[in-house]
């Protein structure tokens, strides 16, 4: 009996303990639910805070409207859009002389809190809040209060991670009215679909919307005056853009390779089509050249689908490849004062300069008056197989004979400036400059040649090139002087070096060369004293630039594939396009740096992190052409 009672007591105690644990668990769950209801995102407390904030912001907006009504009642000349107020200023057009320069936003919003005194301002009569807080942004927008989540300094909208904060669900973004300039790379590689740029913006800076592959429509309102270099380049889905007549300057490569752009109206005050402006816009069929236009710069219309052009009266300068258009069939020069179009060829009015030939010509009779053939004149003439250099031709530009299908060149026997050899290769009369070579396989350039013109090796089929000791170097200094070879030996007399001219995988400099040296198993080319870096072997996975280097020369890291590069601590200067077309994502620069060219990082389209061991703004010019703008520049003070 005793044992049974004892067992029952133990069982009751066990049940009691279980009940207690269950009760505690239930209480904890209920407590959790209560806490959640009080403190969660949609909690009572949270909703109360939002309501309080909405009431506060609404009150501020109402006080601004009442202030405007009050001023209007005092003076009918009051203009609401003249009202400007902030932490240290208050202005409107009917202020008395005594009140000018006095007051703050507190004179408009009497009860504004200290927090919002710092955050709010009135611009053109409208209340604006400067915030990056998502909750404040949503509430302000719902109340009709303008929002500025951007980093704006002296009217310039800088590149930062907050620049898409006001983009709506459709991908549309309207730049706020207090922005005067959209900074370099501000929206590069971002996910916009439509951008609306008000006329209060005067300048769109370099790379502002570059590589924005989702961008479809751009509305630029009247008042914008300048669009910078590469601002909309490689926007592969861009189909529509409005360019008002207020625009007077559009930078180079601005619309480069926008293949869906099929029609565009240029501003009437535009005088120059910049380098590569519409290059490779392969669907661009219609374009009307403005009446004030004077210049077509390098490759500005190359690769478009234009069939006819009418030259305005004062167009007087045409750069190489500007009219390299396969579809072009006619050029109307009837109203132009400088050019004449005859039999598929564009000449100067006096017929002394041959500017370009249409791509579809099959035969060519150069006017006997011609003295100059400009660069790239026959660049896309794939059906042209024979050219005769007439008697009076004295000057030939680069890439004139870069048509790969060209089979032969003849020179009039009375021409004193050019000669051909037994293999039909074209030289200057003294044999020092090579203009075109038809040799294939292992090519040996004959002795006496000091330089070659771009396009000289256009016929292809070349496996190696042996330069003569007379060769002195890169006089022209342009891209692709030599074909893409596995190996090139530079003789002892080469005096200058431009990496862009030598897209070669392996380069060796003669040990007798007094100007240049190749080091570390020909991985780098330096100046003879080791202080200047000219070339880095592009396929190196790890770049270790010699510590002696002080200057990174133009194109020195051209097409380099290394993901990260640390510059030697002694580097003091970085020149233009130093990393052009490199796939490098990160570079680090030491504290000895003194000068970075304004376009040092142009063309380095993957470079998203530039670490500089200096205090911010110690080196002027940031972001130096970086496509991501200042959000890619990281300052680390020493």
pLDDT tens digits, one per residue of 352-374: 999 999 999 998 999 999 999 99
Helices (H), ranges, 302-382: none
- Are 301 and 323 contacting, i.e. CB atoms less than 8 angstroms apart? yes
> What is the mean predicted confidence (pLDDT) over 557-581?
95
CB 201 within 8 A of CB 224: yes
**pLDDT at site 489:** 86
Q: For residues 201, 206, 208 and 211, what is the CA-based torsion angle, rounded to 10 degrees? A: 150
Is-contact 425 454, C-beta < 8 A? no
Evaluate the omega torsion of the peptide bond into residue 623 and state whether it is cis, within 30 degrees of 0.
yes
pLDDT digits (tens, 9 = 90+) for 385-437: 999 999 999 999 988 988 888 999 999 999 999 999 998 999 999 999 999 99
The per-residue pLDDT for 26 is 56
pLDDT value for 556: 94
Least confident of 124-138, 338-352, 540-554: 124-138
CA 288/CA 304 separation, integer angstroms:
13
Nearest to 287 by CA among 259, 318, 265: 265
User: What is the average per-residue pLDDT within 70-89?
Assistant: 88
* Higher-pLDDT residue of 22, 151: 151
Given this model, what pLDDT does residue 34 score?
A: 52
Structure-block tokens of residue 41:
């995102």
| Cis ω before 435 (30° cut-off from 0) | no
Q: At residue 46, what are phi and psi to the nearest 5 degrees?
A: -60, -45
Q: Which residue has the higher pLDDT, 61 or 167?
A: 61
Q: What is the mean pLDDT of the chain?
A: 88
Block residue for tokens 């973004």: 173
Mean pLDDT confidence for 252-257:
97
Instruction: Give the model's pLDDT for residue 305.
Output: 97
Those residues with Cβ within 8 angstroms of residue 20's Cβ, 6 or more apart along the chain or in another chain: none
* DSSP state for residue 509 in the 8-state scheme: E
What's the first-to-final CA gap in the chain, in angstroms? Answer: 87
Match domain 515-638 to its CATH number in 3.40.50.300, 2.40.10.10, 3.40.630.10, 3.80.10.10. 3.80.10.10
Number of H helices, E strands in the chain: 4, 47
Residues of the chain with CATH 3.80.10.10: 515-638
Pairing of strands 551-552, 573-574: parallel
For residue 415, which of 392, 444, 438 has the smallest C-alpha distance? Answer: 392
Q: Are strands 488-490 and 586-589 parallel, antiparallel or unpaired?
A: unpaired
CB neighbours of residue 115 within 10 Å = 9
Q: What is the pLDDT of residues 292-321, one digit of tens each?
A: 999 999 999 999 999 999 999 999 999 999
Q: And the tokens for 212?
A: 């924005």
């Amino acid at each position: 009996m005793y044992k049974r009672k004892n067992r029952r007591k133990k069982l009751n105690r066990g049940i009691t303990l279980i009940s207690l644990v269950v009760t505690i668990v239930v209480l904890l769950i209920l407590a959790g639910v209560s806490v959640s209801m009080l403190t969660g995102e949609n909690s009572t407390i949270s909703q109360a805070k939002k309501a309080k904030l909405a009431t506060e912001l609404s009150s501020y907006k109402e006080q601004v409207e009442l202030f405007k009504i009050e001023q209007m009642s005092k003076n009918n000349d009051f203009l609401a859009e003249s009202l400007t107020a902030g932490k240290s200023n208050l202005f409107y057009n009917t202020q008395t002389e005594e009140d000018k320069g006095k007051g703050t936003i507190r004179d408009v919003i009497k009860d504004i809190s200290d927090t919002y005194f710092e955050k709010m301002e009135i611009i053109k009569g409208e209340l604006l809040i400067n915030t990056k807080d998502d909750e404040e942004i949503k509430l302000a927008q719902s109340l009709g209060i303008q929002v500025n989540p951007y980093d704006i300094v002296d009217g310039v909208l800088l590149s930062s991670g907050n620049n898409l904060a006001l983009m709506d669900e459709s991908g549309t973004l309207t730049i706020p009215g207090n922005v005067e300039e959209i900074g370099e790379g501000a929206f590069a590689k971002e996910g916009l679909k439509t951008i609306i740029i008000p006329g209060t913006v005067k300048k769109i800076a370099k790379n502002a919307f570059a590589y924005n592959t989702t961008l479809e429509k751009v509305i630029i309102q009247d008042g914008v005056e300048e669009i910078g270099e590469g601002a909309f380049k490689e926007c592969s889905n861009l189909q529509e853009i409005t360019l008002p007549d207020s625009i007077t300057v559009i930078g180079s490569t601005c619309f480069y390779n926008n293949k869906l752009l099929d029609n565009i109206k240029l501003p009437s005050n535009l005088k120059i089509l910049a380098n590569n402006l519409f290059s490779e816009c392969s669907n661009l069929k219609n374009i009307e050249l403005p009446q004030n236009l004077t210049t077509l710069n390098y490759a500005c219309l190359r690769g478009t689908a234009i069939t006819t052009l009418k030259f305005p009266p004062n167009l007087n300068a045409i750069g190489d490849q500007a009219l390299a258009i396969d579809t072009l069939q006619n050029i109307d020069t009837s109203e132009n004062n400088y050019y004449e179009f005859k039999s598929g060829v564009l000449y100067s009015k006096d017929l002394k300069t041959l500017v370009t030939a249409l791509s579809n010509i099959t035969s060519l009779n150069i006017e006997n008056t011609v003295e100059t053939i400009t660069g790239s004149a026959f660049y896309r003439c794939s059906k042209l197989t024979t050219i005769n250099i007439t008697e009076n031709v004295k000057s030939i530009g680069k890439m004139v004979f870069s048509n790969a299908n060209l089979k032969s060149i003849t020179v009039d026997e009375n021409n004193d400036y050019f000669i051909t050899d037994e293999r039909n290769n074209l030289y200057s009369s003294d044999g020092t400059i090579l203009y075109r070579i038809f040799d294939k396989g292992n090519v040996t350039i004959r002795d006496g040649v000091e330089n070659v013109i771009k396009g000289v090796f256009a016929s292809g089929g070349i496996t190696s090139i042996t330069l003569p000791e007379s060769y002195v170097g890169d006089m022209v200094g342009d891209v692709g002087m030599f074909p893409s070879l596995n190996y090139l030996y530079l003789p002892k007399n080469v005096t200058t070096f431009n990496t862009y001219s030598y897209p070669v995988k392996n380069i060796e400099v003669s040990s007798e060369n007094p100007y240049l040296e190749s080091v570390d198993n020909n991985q780098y080319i330096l100046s003879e004293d080791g202080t200047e870096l000219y070339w880095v072997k592009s396929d190196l996975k790890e770049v270790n630039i010699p510590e002696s280097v002080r200057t990174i020369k133009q194109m020195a890291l051209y097409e380099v594939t290394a993901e990260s590069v640390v510059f030697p601590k002694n580097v003091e200067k970085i020149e233009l396009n130093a990393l052009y077309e490199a796939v490098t994502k990160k570079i680090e620069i030491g504290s000895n740096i003194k000068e970075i060219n304004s376009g040092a990082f142009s063309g380095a389209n993957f470079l998203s992190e530039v670490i500089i061991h200096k205090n911010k703004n110690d080196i002027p010019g940031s972001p130096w052409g970086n496509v991501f703008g200042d959000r890619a520049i990281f300052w680390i003070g020493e």
